[in-house]
Amino acid sequence: MLTEESKIDSITILEDNKLEIRRANIVLRDGVEFAKTFNRHVLSPGDILDGQDAKVILIAEALWG
């Protein structure tokens, strides 16, 4: 049986206090990883954080004040 999960696996602080967030999209076959792809996006200080993962919000608020 194939299942899919998505999780943030990397949050990197870039220059100018920007955050690069990498999300891993994992396809599992009978519970074993079968395929993985990545998506990235960057947040800048002052960006709206609505809809972001709780970990991203905590880091952004701590970094940006």
pLDDT at residue 1, as a whole number: 93
Q: Is 64 exposed, middle or buried (0-12, 13-18, 19+ CB in 10 A)?
A: middle
Say what the pTM is: 0.86
pLDDT at residue 10, as a whole number: 98
pLDDT at residue 55, as a whole number: 96
User: Whats the size of the chain, residue-wise?
Assistant: 65
Distance CA 2, CA 65 (A): 42
Task: Grade residue 5 by pLDDT with cuts at 50, 70 and 90.
Answer: very high
pLDDT digits (tens, 9 = 90+) for 6-45: 999 999 999 999 999 999 999 999 999 999 999 999 999 9
